A = this chain, B = another copy of it.
């Protein structure tokens, strides 16, 4: 990273702050959290990026395979709603995944206009590998942070989501867990 003048390497929360509220140093400036989240997310998606690159896929493919794997039989419209992208953007990515045998589409039973989405075994395996990579990162992190951190992180992450979409996301996760048992 080059050395932009190395000094003040005191890693602990904050050195010369006027924050001295008895128990815990809660005076961590938000700008630190902003930067840490930026770098953490970059490395987090980096795990998958490497793997995907070898297959000629990108992040867009990742998201599709992931959510289709978690919600087998979901409709194209549902996927669009989750990803919040346009039909046209999804189109190319979905076509590539179908062409390469990672995803398949079947007309809906009750409504044959619907193209229900499923991952093939190949797609399921890809999704599994990608989850495994990122799971490893979480495992390492919680291993360092000690017990309780996992639950705390879950609460924290959920709280960072827009309050308007939080319930939708929690519902989505709950339904996926229910399906896959």
Contact = CB atoms under 8 A, between A and B. Distances in A.
* Chain A interface, >50% SS class: helix
Contacts of A96: none
A157 B40 contact: yes
B151 A39 contact: no
A171 B6 contact: yes
Interface of A: 1-2, 4-11, 13-16, 24-26, 28-44, 46, 63, 70-71, 74-75, 77-78, 81-82, 84, 131, 134-135, 137-142, 144-145, 147-163, 165, 168-178, 181
A43 B150 CA distance: 21
A2 B175 CA distance: 13
